[in-house]
Amino acid sequence: MKVGNLKPLGSILHDGWERIYDYTVAGSAITSLTISGLNGDVDEEYILESKVVNGYNGSIEVQVRPNNDTTATAYGFQVVQGASSTGSARRYTSKAQLDFLNANALSDVAAGEMKIFAKSGFVRTTLLEKTGSISGTTVTAVGLLGHSWNNTADNITSLVIGASQTGGIGVGSQFTLWKKSRRVV
Amino acid sequence: MRTGNLEGFVDRTWQVVHDSGELAAAVMSYTISGLSGDTDVKYRLISRVVNGYNGPVAYNALINNDSGNNYGYQYVTCGNAAVAANRGTLTAILNAAGYCSALNGITFNDFILNAKSGSTRTGIVKFAYDISGTTVGNVQVNGLSWNNSVDNITSLQITGGQVGCIGIGSRFILLKEVHVPSGLRTGELDIRGTLKGAWQEVYRHTVSGSAETSITVSGLKGNTTDQILRARVRTVNGYNGAGRYVLRFNNDTGNNYGNQYLQGIDTTVSAGRIVGNGLVANDDPRALGQVAYIENLLYLKSGFVRTGIHGRACWISGTTVGSRALVGDVWTNTVDEVTSLVFAGTTNNFGIGTEICIERLNL
């Protein structure tokens, strides 16, 4: 069946990826946002894409917390990255969030794509590719991360995305969440 | 609204907006026009380039034909055991379609571009290059910027700067994030067949009951419907000890596969190259219950060596992620149609809770 453009107002059942959240910060900078109404045990996988414009006059981290779990030791990650002429790696095992993006100065830009295996039963895992802090033609770093959220039990019903400084998520920042829209569950 | 096979742009999906097909003649550059970055917001360019020039070529991209020194990059790369990184500025998007050092070498590339104006445009490209036979020469990831926050993106031009450098068999597939401001409205859209240009799941398997040692995905048509596949795997080690699994095509068990990996383990960055009887798909899990999460992007059509890129996080237990890697893959068979993928372990590698999901790109 050939059609022109389709604009479904309901779900798109096709065993493929459906954009379920799309937000661009306008007007004034924000500090956090919440994507709610999720069902990680049904959706199983999410992809979170973002481009952040730093709204704070200093450095920020943008962090993601499933179900707003702020437990200080619930998360860990391994990163391999490049910054200037140095390739490096680090591991953290006692974090209070999924580290997502970072930017060093006001108006610097950072962007990334995080794939999240959301289904409960085992630790929740991510694959993240990110770049930042970008100002003009200066790209400070590129990194590949894998995370673990050490919660095997709870269904993921929300993602809370927050900046480490007030107003860190500046005007023009974009957040998009995709879910696997499966016809047979 | 229920449909069978559907062809048309559907809001809130990712779909192919341009497919060059495998080029029948070598060219110096390749342009994709008629774009609207402010409408589409993001693009993804999946490309496989065969070097048609007898020398090194960087396959960069011009946005809107801007050839000024308006682009920035930061990369980390590896070749064999050597790791390097660098930052700089350029007159194009660096390696948007990869790099090749020699004639007939292959580069396989996955480039995401944040296209909407209002701030500096950013991108990330992952690519495996200098692929020949069972050798994957290098794997690399670049963070990218275009220092233009104003103009709507209307074109991408891949350029290598040498006559015939984009060789026969090269291919460029551009996907866009579909935003439909107006169109035929439906309620729930239930697509019972294929959605042209979109990723769709064609196989999913969850291990239950007891651990499995090998999992076969059959019925594939690598030369027609399954030319580009994406495999996402979350494994749970079902063996009390070390256990690597490999990915094989058509259950070829010969030493016809190669990997080049870049990885981080704790504070150590390392790299290496492997030739063996399968694509090494996970770092050997060390203990029962360890988790790994892996995503493969595969180009399966015959005519050239089959290529792939995968990212993986492995040795996961509690809050410890033991390793994170980026890997380039090759299967040196150029002839046979891919009809199966075999996830081949040693003993009970795929424990209860392992999930394998295969998606095809409907071209």
CB pairs below 8 Å between A and B: how many? 318
Q: Of A129, A104, A86, A126, nearest to B144 (Cα)?
A: A129
Task: Report yes or no: B82 at the A interface, CB cutoff 8 Å.
Answer: no
Mean of pLDDT values over A20-33: 98
Average pLDDT over chain A reads 96
**Residue A75, Cα to own-chain centre: how many angstroms?**
14
Q: What is the mean pLDDT of chain B?
A: 96
Which pLDDT score, from 0 to 100, does residue A115 have?
A: 98
List pLDDT tens digits, range B155-186.
999 999 999 999 999 999 999 999 998 888 88
Amino acid B157: pLDDT? 98
Assign B182 to helix, strand or coil. coil
Q: Answer whether B165's CB lies under 8 Å from B56's CB.
A: no
Residue A184 has what pLDDT? 61
pLDDT digits (tens, 9 = 90+) for B36-91: 999 999 999 999 999 999 999 999 999 999 999 999 999 999 999 999 999 999 99
Q: Which residues contact B276 (CB under 8 A, 6 or more apart)?
A: B246, B255, B257, B258, B259
At residue A185 the predicted structure's pLDDT band, cuts being 50, 70 and 90, is: low
Tell me if chain A has a CB within 8 Å of the CB of B163. no
Q: Is the confidence at residue B347, as pLDDT, over 70?
A: yes
How far, in Å, CA of B294 to CA of B98, rounded? 22
Q: Which of A136-150, B175-189, B300-314 has the lowest mean pLDDT?
A: B175-189
Q: What is the pTM of this model?
A: 0.97
pLDDT at residue A182 tops 90: no
At residue B287, the pLDDT reads: 87
pLDDT digits (tens, 9 = 90+) for B95-148: 999 999 999 999 999 999 999 999 999 999 999 999 999 999 999 999 999 999
B contact test, residue of A80, A90, A173 with most B CBs within 10 A: A80
pLDDT of residue B182: 83
Q: How would DSSP label each residue in A85-110? A: TEEEEEEEEEESSEEEEEE-STT-EE
pLDDT bin (cut points 50, 70, 90) of residue B93 is: very high
Facing A129 at nearest CB: one of B84, B124, B147: B124
- Tokens, residue A55: 């709204």
A residues 119..178 contacting B (CB < 8 A): 119, 121-123, 125-127, 129-132, 134-142, 144-148, 150, 172, 174, 176
Range A72-98 average pLDDT: 97
Among A13, A139, A145, beta carbon nearest to B143: A139
Please tell me the predicted confidence (pLDDT) of residue A183. 79
